[in-house]
Structure 1
Amino acid sequence: MSAGSPKTENDNAKRGAFTRFLDGVEWLGNLLPHPVTLFALFALAVMVFSAVAAYFGVSVEDPRPGQEGVTIAVNSLLSGDGLRWMVANLVPNFTGFPPLGVVLVALLGVGIAERSGLLAALLRSMVLNASPRMVTIVVVFAGVISNTASELGYVVLVPLAAVTFHSLGRHPLAGLAAAFAGVSAGYSANLFIGTVDPLLAGFTQEAARLIDPDYVVGPEMNHFFMIASTFLIAALGAIVTEKVVEPKLGKFNEADMDAEAIADNHVSMEKLNSVERKGLIAGGVTFVSLLALLAITVVPEWGVLRNPATGEVFGSPFLSGIVVFIFITFAIPGFVYGYITGSMRNDRDVIQAMAKSMSSMGLYIVLVFFAAQFVAFFGWTNFGTIFAVNGANFLEAINLTGPGVFLLFILMCAFVNLMLGSASAQWAITAPIFVPMLMIIGYAPETVQAAYRIGDSVTNIITPMMSYFGIILAVAARYQKNLGIGTLISIMLPYSMVFFVGWTALFYLWVFVLDLPVGWGAATYYQMAG
């Protein structure tokens, strides 16, 4: 077909419109300040607007049964009481913030498993030992599993997947795309409870307590739904790769590879040596043994970690202390692997691994300080409750209180994620408004959080604001010279679209059709007590 044909001109017009859309997303994202600065500005804004709202007497009627006629008014942070409260609570707001401690404790264990080489060896073993027919779904599945250890999937799996596809005579960018889709668009799905679960649960619990001061949200509260989501994302990712992305990429031109990619291909395709295989087996046996010991404390009716008052698993020390078990089940197998392979020999090596994992959390700790102040300010001023009540009243006025409200909520989260790529930053901002709002119209915080995780995940791969996007772009450019942001996003867009539709459909099927809990002891609906 000639270059000037109508079809070519139409395709060029579509690419031009898509490029302008991506440019707009990048421009809007660049307008936003750093997330730390954003939270500091939000905290200051709450201070100023609380004084203005209190001056004008902004208030709502308490919606809880038995509280008829009780008015909830805005408290000013710039009043005498407000200033005294801020001075007395600035440090407790930070040190008592739920996501802080639980994430750091979990990461200590994950850091040992990662620094010893256990997690990287596991990913290499899964991908390199997969049969050619199964390699696509294994790559996506491994990407989802890699989320247990933050950057591991981006740094190890994505380059490895590109190399693996190339070695099989397939387009390396298809392998890169499959891995990137699993790691990033499937970010919240996993078979295991990882560091993201306590992080989000902490924000959700603080938001829920604006309505119910005693409400508890644990890291395990979305586990069932995320297990199912792992298999869905792996299947959808494989289908999109083989039926859409790979045919679109066409035949790979070897001349496009640079010298660094050629060198990496030679090194990365080395299978695990005998010592690494021995370490992996020993680590796996240790992991299974720990699970068996844990099961003895939970499964029998006399299990010591069951709820001592009711004898049930719900409300038990097992669930409330799930972060402790994340630490143990990563740390001990990680050390066993490291000891056998020689990467860890003594306590100093273990301490060094934990110290390195903590050193990588410096920015997170700074962000949490300001996020904690914003969340606490938002709650003390009653802004969260007032926004939630007015929002719930609006939804009831337009008759949008049924399950359809979650479609709009997921869409909103997916759109915001294009410009604010941090899961913790976005949820810290939106949870204090939407969790109580949807609680008022009858939905449990655990259900709201599960819906949020879909929107927060599916657009990660099409936003330049995602923190690892530059790394992925650099790896992709090794296989296609002059590859730009627009090209990479156009490759990844089909995954976002299919994942959004498929994952949202699974949410509705799971929650509203099959009426299954999204996690351990998680409720679907919420009824405000009198």
Structure 2
Amino acid sequence: MALGSRVLNAVENVGNKLPDPVFLFLWFILALIVLSMVGAGLGWATVNPVTGDALQAQSLLSTENLSRLFIDMPKTLAAFPPLGIVLTVVYGAAVAERAGLFTTAFRGMLLNAPRFILTPAVAVTGMVSHHASDASYVVVIPLAAVIFAAVGRHPLAGLAAGFAAVSGGFAGNLFPGASDALILGITEPAAQLIDPAYNVTIAGNWFFSIGMVIVFTPIIWFLTDVVIEPRLKTRSPIMPEGPTSDEKVPLTAAEKRGLAFAGLTLLAMVALWATITFLPGSPFVDAEAEPNQRFNPLYQSLVAFFAITFFLAGGAYGVGAGTVTSHRDLVVMMRDGIAQMAPYIVLAFFAAHFVAMFNWSGLGPILAVSGAEYLKTLALPAPLLLVAVVLVSCFFDLFIGSASAKWSALAPIVVPMFMLLGISPEMTTAAYRMGDSVTNIATPLMSYFPLILTFAQRWDPKFGLGSLMSTMLPYAGVFLIAGLAMVGMWVALDLPLGPGVGVHYEPPPPAATGAPPTALGSPAVAPIAR
């Protein structure tokens, strides 16, 4: 057995033995309770280097914390930032998805793409399709194979390009969406462990996400056309007929009318938000804030903007295309969309309590301060520190598919730690998301991997797991190299991550806390008792 096969088998065996993410968080909570008791017993303590507050490890079995756990349990869930943000966006996105707007728009983009730019069109469409949530896997990827076949190209090359874009480029997009709301919503409470006033918006990684589209699109184009497709032509003959599919049928007049209605609605929403922003006394502008912070209310309004825009554009498409015949259809679509979020809501209950209990224990800031002090003694440059975050994220992605589950566990430690090293929460999040994306297509443990294999076997019944793995590994390898370089260059060039968001974190002036500064530019840190 080849070394590569043994490695993949080992990954698969380890991953299969991991519990469901819900029970993974239960184990995390139990371990946290034990650690909090040890920390409280040994007197672990430090000083918050931003606020100057003394921090002492607290046992989670203390009277106060047990009271918080059981009496405030509903409040703990309701206060979990990602939950409200994600559900708000889903109310609108569910209408756009179920009315057919997303599917038709993706079909239109790919069906009308000239043969020469078909591969980059698939790449960009795949990354933008994340607004349709999981529908991107079941629409864009098989559709890419059908369209490649329709123009005489190898369908599995189209499938590979679509899979690479949708899954390997998961953090790439042209506009913020539900995935940004989810991940950055987890980042905010982690950042507030150090700086209680810190706010994270849905646009915190916007420019970085666009950068991923710009970097990954030519990679997908080159690998698909120069490496993958020539290899597939020699190793995977195309079926004479191929699968039948209605997806390659041109858009109907009703679908085109629906897209026109949706486009006009989108333009109207952009115009409305721009008008409100520039009106005197706009609620989207804080005239008293620092210049680079004045538009924070606008960025914070983007959750509502996307929710309302998806709802209205989806409804407009449905009216034009005939998929929405009454207001009751819209209510059913929203209800079905929320029903599909049930697995996430279950996970959110346990993730919310893990994050809250980490905060109650005081261990998050203590570990972060101690870790930051240790990393500072190593004098590692910021790009190298963030490269480490990418690699750690890649490693965990081989075993745990849920991006939110991994980040909920990692964020309370790495976000405060890197803030103390002068790296913004948004930059740390961007590095995590890069690592979480690039290895999605390299692990058979990814939840949609069997589905993609099924799509491939529609064209070649002998196309097995090893065939799919060997096809996708070149994308994963080059994505990882490019991702590491992109993170390093982003920090080295100090590029903005989003509107008003930079690579570096600057804590409030030490005078505001009344504590003497240290070499970190913040109050003295008391060592943890061992």
TM-score by length of 1: 0.92
1:116-152, CA deviations, whole angstroms, 9 ceiling, x for partnerless residues?
A: 1011000000111100001000011100000011112
**Residues matched between the structures, number:** 508
Query: Which residue matches 1:52?
Result: 38
Q: Taking structure 1 as reference, are residues 489 and 252 closer, same or farther at Cα in structure 2, changes over 3 Å only? A: closer
1:286 partnered with 2:262: no
CA distance in 2, matches of 1:136, 1:347: 39
Q: What is aligned with 1:239?
A: 222
Deviation, 1:230, is 1.6
Matched, 1:518 2:501: no
The worse-fitting range, judged by mean Cα deviation, of 468-477 and 135-144 is 468-477
In 2, Cα distance between equivalents of 1:101 and 1:65: 28
Q: Residue 302 of structure 1 contacts residue 311 of structure 1 at CA under 8 Å; is this kept in 2?
A: no
Q: Which residue of 489, 498, 508 maps to 2:478? A: 498
Does the CA-based 8 Å contact 1:174-1:241 persist in structure 2? yes
Structure 2 match to 1:112: 95
**Structure 1 segments (4+ residues) deviating >6 Å:** none
Q: Does 1:268 align with 2:247?
A: yes
Alpha carbons of structure 1 residues 518 and 279: separation in structure 2 relative to 1, 3 Å? same
2:254–2:322 Cα contact (<8 Å) kept: no
The alpha carbon displacement at 1:489 in A equals 1.6
Deviations 1:92-130 (A, max 9, x none): 110011000110010111111111101100000011110
Partner SS for 1:228: helix
Deviation at 1:507, TM superposition (A): 2.8
Contact kept, 8 Å, 1:114 with 1:149, in 2: the verdict is: yes
* Post-superposition offset of 1:390: 2.2
* Aligned 1:177-256 pairs, distance under 5 A: 177-251=160-234, 256=239
Please state how far the C-alpha of 1:82 moved relative to its aligned partner. 2.3
Distance of 1:184 and 1:502 partners within structure 2: 16
Name the amino acid aligned to 1:452.
Y
CA apart distance, 1:304: 4.6
Structure 1 window deviating more from structure 2 (368-377 vs 164-173): it is 164-173
Do structure 1's residue 64 and structure 2's residue 44 form an aligned pair? no
SS at match of 2:55: strand
Letter in 1 for 2:264: V
Aligned equivalents of 2:70, 2:34: Cα separation in 1: 16
State the AA in 1 paired with 2:232: L
Rounded to whole Å, the distance in 2 between the matches of 1:79 and 1:388 is: 23
Residue of structure 1 in register with 2:284 after alignment: 305
Match of 1:476 in 2: 456
Q: CA deviation at 1:48?
A: 2.3
What is the RMSD computed on CA atoms of the aligned residues?
Answer: 1.9
Query: For residue 17 of structure 2, what is the aligned residue in structure 1?
Result: 31
Letter in 2 for 1:281: A
Tell me what 2:28 maps to: 42
State the AA in 2 paired with 1:220. A
Q: What is the identity, as a one-letter code, of the residue corresponding to 1:370?
A: F
Alpha-carbon contact 1:162-1:173 (below 8 Å) kept: yes
Instruction: Classify 1:376/1:364 alpha carbon distance in 2 versus 1 (closer, same or farther; 3 Å).
Output: same
Question: Is the Cα–Cα contact under 8 Å of residues 91 and 334 in structure 2 kept in the other structure?
Answer: yes
1:216-246 CA distance string (max 9 Å, x none): 1111111112122222222211111112211
Cα 1:21–1:100 shift into 2, 3 Å: same
Residues 253, 464 of structure 1: CA spacing in aligned structure 2 closer, same or farther, 3 A cutoff? closer
Specify whether residues 172 and 43 from structure 1 end up closer, same or farther in structure 2 by C-alpha distance, changes over 3 A only: same
Partner of 2:399: 419
Name 2:154's counterpart in structure 1: 171
Q: Aligned partners of 1:277, 1:114: CA distance in 2, in Å?
A: 16
Q: Kindly provide the CA deviation profile for residues 445-478 of structure 1, in whole angstroms up to 9, marking residues without a partner as x.
A: 0111111110111011111222211211111122
- Tell me which amino acid in the other structure corresponds to 2:259: L
Report whether the alignment pairs 1:140 with 2:123. yes
The alignment partner of 1:404 has SS state of helix
CA contact (8 A) 1:511 1:518 kept: no
Task: Return the offset for 1:509.
Answer: 2.7
Task: Quote how far apart the aligned CAs of 1:299 are.
Answer: 4.5
Which 5+ residue runs of structure 2 have no aligned equivalent?
Answer: 511-530
Q: CA deviation at 1:315?
A: 4.9
Contact 2:495–2:502 (8 Å) recurs in 1: no
Confirm whether residue 18 of structure 1 aligns to residue 21 of structure 2.
no
Partner SS, residue 197 of structure 2: coil
SS at match of 2:382: coil
Is residue 383–residue 489 contact of structure 2 (8 Å, CA) maintained in 1?
no
- Maintained 8 Å contact 2:384/2:488: no
How far, CA to CA, are the matches of 2:367 and 2:289 in structure 1?
37
Could you say if the C-alpha distance between residues 348 and 24 of structure 1 is closer, same or farther in structure 2, counting changes exceeding 3 Å? same
Q: Distance in 1 between matches of 2:382 and 2:244?
A: 56
1:171, 1:251 within 8 Å by CA — same for their partners in 2?
A: no
Contact 1:22 1:486 in 2 (8 A): no
CA contact (8 A) 1:395 1:401 kept: no
Question: What secondary structure does 2:459 align onto?
Answer: coil
Give 1:85 deviation, angstroms: 2.3
**Structure 2 CA distance, aligned partners of 1:102 and 1:342?**
30
Q: Secondary structure at the match of 2:59?
A: coil
How many angstroms does 1:33 deviate by?
0.4
Alpha-carbon distance, 1:308 to partner: 4.9
What residue number does 1:350 align with? 330
Question: Does the 8 A contact of 2:130 with 2:170 survive in 1?
Answer: yes
Q: Write the mapping of 1:86-125 to structure 2, written as runs, cut at 5 A.
A: 86-125=69-108
Q: Deviations over 1:170-209 (max 9, x none)?
A: 2111100100111111111111110011111111011111
Partner of 1:368: 348
Q: Match of 2:469?
A: 489
Q: For 2:248 and 2:299, how far apart are their aligned partners in 1? A: 41
Three-state SS of the structure 2 residue aligned to 1:403 is helix
Distance 1:445 1:321 in 2: 20
- TM-score normalized with structure 2 length: 0.92
Q: Deviations over 1:145-175 (max 9, x none)?
A: 0001111211111111111111222211110
Counterparts of 1:285 and 1:506 in 2: how far apart (Å)? Answer: 36
* Among candidates 429, 446, 453, match of residue 466 of structure 1: 446
Q: Distance in 2 between matches of 1:214 and 1:302?
A: 24
1:28-57 CA distance string (max 9 Å, x none): 111210001111221122112211332233
SS in 2 for 1:61: strand
2:398 alignment partner, SS class: helix
